[in-house]
C-alpha cells in the first residue's frame, strides 16, 4: 500500500540509531511481528487437523474450509492497508487487528467436547466408539474405531474398493458394507461450530488490519534514501521466521500434551504479547503510523463497526462454503462452476475480470512499451497462482499425509507431530536464504543470473519436483504404508528453494513492470492472485480426500495410493508449466524491455 511521506517525528525516528545501527523502534516492531507470526503460524499448523479430528469434518469439508480461510487472509490486507492510509493510521490499525486476532484465537480454544462420530447402515445409526483416542493433533498409539452391532463390538476397517469391513474380536469379517450402503457423519454442537467459524472470520479481518500496516511502520522508520532500509527489513523478516518456527513447534506440542485448547490458547497468548508490544511501547513508537489529517473528524468508530459487520459477512461465506454441494458426475466445467460456493465464484470472477480489464486500460492509455510490460506482469501473475496452489498444500493435504502416511520418528529418538512438519519450510528458508542470495550474486557478477521469468520457471519446476520426490519415496513405504520422514523433508527443502526463486522477486516485479498510475491496483491484483491460489489449493487438496470414520482413515493403503496419485499429477503439472514458462522466458524478457 502506498503511504504518504514520513512526518517530522517519523523522520527523526529514522535518524536515531540504537539497535544494531537501526532505530530503537525497529526492535519493538520486530517483537510485535515475531509474536504475531507465532500465533498465526501456530494456529494455521493445527487448523486442518482440528477440523478433521475434533469436529470430525470429512477431508473435503476440512480442506475446503482451510482454503477459504487462507484466501481470506490474503484478501483482507488490501482493504486494511487502504483504511490505514486514508483514516486510521498504521499504528491504530495494527492494534485493532491484534485485538481481533487475540479474540479469534481464544474463541478457537473454546472448542467444546469432541464431535461424536456415527456410522449409518441397514437403516440404523450406530455410534462410533473410539479406542485409545486422543483429542489432539497426533493419532494415539493403538487408536481404532468400532461400532456396536446387535450387542457385538465390531472394529471398522476399510478396503481399497471403498467398502467397509466390520471385524469381530476373533478377527473374522462379520459384515462387508459396499460403497453406497453406509454413511459416515458426526454429531456436532452447532454452537461450537458457529463459534469456530466466527473465530476464523475474526482472525481473517484482524489479519487485514495488522499484516500490511506493521510493514508500513517499519518503512516509516527510514527517511528517503536511507541505505539502512533494506537491512532493516531483512532483520524484520527474521522476526517473521523466528515467530513461525516458534509457533509451529510450541502450539502443536501443547495441543498434543494438553488438548486443542492449549494449542490455540498459546497462539492467543503470543498474539496478546504482540498486542502488548504495540499498545505499551513507552514512547518508542511515537510519531509512527499516525492517522492522516482529514476533514470531517475521526471515523474510527464507523470503521470498527464496519469490521464487526465484515466478520458476520465472512461467517456467512464460510457457512455457504461448507454447505456447497459436490458437482454432479458428468456435469462438465459449467456444472463444476455452478457448484462452487459463493466465495469461489467471487474470487474467480474478480480475477478473470480484473486481468483483461487492466490490460485493456493499459492498451488504451499507455504506450506500446508500457502495455507490453504490463502484459508480461499479468502472465507472471497467472503463473504465480499455479505456484502458490502447489506450495500451499503444506497446511492441508501434506499435513494430512504427514499424519496418516508418514513415519515421523526422528532416528528413533522422538517423534514429530504432523503439524510440526510444516516447520521444515520455515527452517529451510532461514538456512537457505543467505545461500540463495550468495548464489544469485555470484551468477549476477558473471552475467548468468536468470531473468525474472527464468526464476519463476525455476520456482514452478521446483514446486512440482518436490511432489515427485515424495512420490518416489512412496515406493519405499513400509508395511504400515508410511513413508520415511526424510522424503517429506526433501519435499520441503526443494519447495523452499523454489519459494526463494519466486517470492522475493514477485512484489519487486510488480513495481518495476506496472504503469506508475496503477501500481497500487497491480499490487492488489498480485495479492488477489495469492488469494485465488489459496482457494484453489483447498480444491486440489479435496482431490486427495479419503474416506474416514470418526476422523481417522480406515485403509492406510488406499490413503497412500490416493495421495501419491494426486501428488504425482500436480507434480508433473508444476514441472510441465515451469518448463513451458522457461521456453517463453526469452519472449517475456523482450516484453519487459530490459527490466530484470
Residues 251 and 158 in one domain: no
Residues 212 and 232 in one domain: yes
Q: Residue 337 domain-assigned? A: no
**Could you read off the pLDDT of 115-151 as tens digits, one per residue?**
999 999 988 898 988 877 778 898 777 778 888 888 8
**Could you read off the pLDDT of 479-530 as tens digits, one per residue?**
999 999 999 999 999 999 999 999 878 877 887 888 878 887 888 888 899 9
Residues 202 and 169 in one domain: no
Q: Residue 304 domain-assigned? A: yes
Residues 181 and 225 in one domain: no
Residues 26 and 102 in one domain: yes
Domain that holds residue 134: 116-187
Q: What is the mean pLDDT of residues 421-430?
A: 93
Residues 136 and 47 in one domain: no
Q: Residue 140 domain-assigned? A: yes
Q: What is the pLDDT of residue 298?
A: 79
The 10 Å Cβ neighbour count of residue 40 is 26
Q: What is the mean pLDDT of residues 308-331?
A: 84
**Could you read off the pLDDT of 69-89 as tens digits, one per residue?**
999 999 999 899 889 888 898
Residues 90 and 123 in one domain: no
Q: From CA 94, how far away is CA 99, in angstroms rounded?
A: 9
Predicted model pTM:
0.91
Residues 177 and 203 in one domain: no
C-alpha cell at 346: 467471487
| pLDDT bucket at 22, cuts 50 / 70 / 90 | confident
Domain final position from 187, 204, 222: 187
| pLDDT bucket at 396, cuts 50 / 70 / 90 | very high
Q: How far apart are the first and last CA of the chain?
A: 23
Residues 27 and 107 in one domain: yes
Q: Give the 3-state secondary structure of residue 470.
A: helix
Q: Residue 106 domain-assigned? A: yes
Q: What is the mean pLDDT of residues 222-228?
A: 75
Could you give phi then psi for residue 414, rounded to 5 degrees? Answer: -160, 170
**Could you read off the pLDDT of 31-43 as tens digits, one per residue?**
999 999 999 999 9
CB contact burial 151-178 (16+ within 10 A = b; e otherwise): eeebbbbbbeeebbbbbeeeeeeebebe
Q: What is the pLDDT of residue 152?
A: 87
Domain final position from 130, 152, 187: 187
Q: What is the pLDDT of residue 516?
A: 79
Across all residues in the chain, what is the average pLDDT?
88
Residues 93 and 16 in one domain: yes
Q: Residue 265 domain-assigned? A: yes
Residues 87 and 123 in one domain: no
| pLDDT bucket at 4, cuts 50 / 70 / 90 | very low
Q: Residue 149 domain-assigned? A: yes
Residues 213 and 167 in one domain: no
Q: What is the pLDDT of residue 78?
A: 87
User: The domain spanning residue 228 has which CATH number?
Assistant: 1.20.1250.20
Task: Inform me whether the pLDDT recorded for 14 exceeds 70.
Answer: no
Domain final position from 187, 202, 223: 187
Among candidate residues 551, 559, 429, 418, the one with its CA nearest the CA of residue 488: 418
Q: Residue 554 domain-assigned? A: no
- The count of domains in the chain is 2
Amino acid at each position: 500500500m502506498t503511504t504518504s511521506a514520513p512526518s517530522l517525528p517519523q523522520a527523526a525516528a529514522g535518524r536515531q540509531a540504537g539497535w544494531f545501527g537501526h532505530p530503537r523502534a525497529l526492535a519493538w516492531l520486530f517483537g510485535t511481528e515475531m509474536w504475531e507470526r507465532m500465533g498465526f503460524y501456530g494456529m494455521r499448523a493445527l487448523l486442518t487437523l482440528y477440523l478433521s479430528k475434533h469436529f470430525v469434518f470429512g477431508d473435503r469439508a476440512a480442506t475446503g474450509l482451510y482454503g477459504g480461510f487462507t484466501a481470506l487472509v490474503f484478501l483482507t490486507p488490501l482493504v486494511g492497508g487502504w483504511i490505514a492510509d486514508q483514516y486510521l493510521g498504521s499504528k491504530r490499525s495494527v492494534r485493532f487487528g491484534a485485538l481481533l486476532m487475540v479474540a479469534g484465537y481464544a474463541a478457537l480454544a473454546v472448542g467444546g467436547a469432541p464431535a461424536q462420530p456415527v456410522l449409518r447402515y441397514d437403516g440404523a445409526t450406530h455410534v462410533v466408539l473410539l479406542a485409545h483416542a486422543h483429542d489432539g493433533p497426533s493419532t494415539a498409539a493403538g487408536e481404532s474405531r468400532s461400532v456396536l452391532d446387535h450387542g457385538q463390538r465390531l472394529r471398522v476397517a476399510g478396503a481399497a474398493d471403498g467398502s467397509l469391513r466390520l471385524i469381530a474380536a476373533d478377527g473374522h469379517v462379520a459384515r462387508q458394507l459396499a460403497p453406497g450402503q453406509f454413511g459416515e457423519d458426526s454429531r456436532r454442537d452447532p454452537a461450537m461450530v458457529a463459534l469456530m467459524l466466527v473465530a476464523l472470520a475474526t482472525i481473517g479481518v484482524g489479519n487485514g488490519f495488522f499484516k500490511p500496516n506493521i510493514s508500513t511502520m517499519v518503512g516509516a522508520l527510514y527517511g528517503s534514501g536511507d541505505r539502512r532500509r533494506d537491512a532493516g527489513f531483512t532483520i524484520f523478516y527474521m522476526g517473521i521466521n523466528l515467530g513461525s518456527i516458534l509457533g509451529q513447534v510450541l502450539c502443536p506440542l501443547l495441543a498434543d500434551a494438553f488438548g486443542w485448547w492449549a494449542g490455540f490458547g498459546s497462539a492467543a497468548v503470543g498474539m496478546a504479547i504482540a498486542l502488548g508490544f504495540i499498545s505499551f511501547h513507552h514512547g518508542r513508537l511515537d510519531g509512527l503510523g499516525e492517522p492522516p489529517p482529514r476533514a470531517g473528524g475521526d471515523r474510527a468508530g464507523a470503521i470498527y463497526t464496519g469490521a464487526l459487520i465484515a466478520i458476520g459477512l465472512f461467517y456467512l461465506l464460510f457457512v455457504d462454503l461448507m454447505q456447497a454441494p459436490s458437482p454432479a458426475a458428468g456435469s462438465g466445467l459449467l456444472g463444476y462452476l455452478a457448484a462452487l460456493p459463493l466465495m469461489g465464484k467471487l474470487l474467480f470472477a474478480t480475477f478473470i475480470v480484473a486481468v483483461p480489464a487492466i490490460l485493456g486500460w493499459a492498451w488504451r492509455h499507455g504506450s506500446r512499451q508500457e502495455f507490453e510490460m504490463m502484459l508480461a506482469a499479468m502472465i507472471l501473475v497467472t503463473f504465480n497462482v499455479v505456484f502458490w496452489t502447489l506450495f500451499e498444500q503444506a497446511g492441508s493435504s501434506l499435513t494430512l499425509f504427514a499424519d496418516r502416511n508418514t513415519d515421523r520418528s526422528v532416528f528413533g529418538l522422538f517423534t514429530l507431530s504432523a503439524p510440526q512438519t510444516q516447520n521444515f519450510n520455515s527452517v529451510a528458508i532461514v538456512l537457505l536464504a543467505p545461500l540463495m542470495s550468495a548464489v544469485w550474486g555470484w551468477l549476477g557478477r558473471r552475467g548468468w543470473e536468470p531473468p525474472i521469468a527464468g526464476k519463476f520457471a525455476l520456482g514452478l519446476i521446483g514446486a512440482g519436483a518436490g511432489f515427485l520426490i515424495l512420490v518416489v519415496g512412496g515406493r519405499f513405504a513400509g508395511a504400515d504404508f508410511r513413508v520415511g520422514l526424510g522424503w517429506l523433508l526433501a519435499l520441503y527443502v526443494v519447495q523452499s528453494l523454489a519459494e526463494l526463486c519466486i517470492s522475493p522477486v514477485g512484489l519487486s516485479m510488480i513495481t518495476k513492470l506496472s504503469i506508475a498510475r496503477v501500481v497500487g491496483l497491480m499490487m492488489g491484483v498480485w495479492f488477489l492472485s495469492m488469494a485465488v491460489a489459496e482457494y484453489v489449493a483447498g480444491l486440489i487438496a479435496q482431490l486427495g480426500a479419503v474416506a474416514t470414520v470418526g476422523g481417522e482413515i480406515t485403509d492406510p493403503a488406499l490413503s497412500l495410493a490416493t495421495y501419491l496419485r494426486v501428488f504425482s499429477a500436480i507434480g508433473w503439472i508444476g514441472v510441465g508449466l515451469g518448463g513451458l514458462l522457461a521456453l517463453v522466458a526469452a519472449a517475456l524478457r523482450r516484453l519487459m524491455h530490459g527490466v530484470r
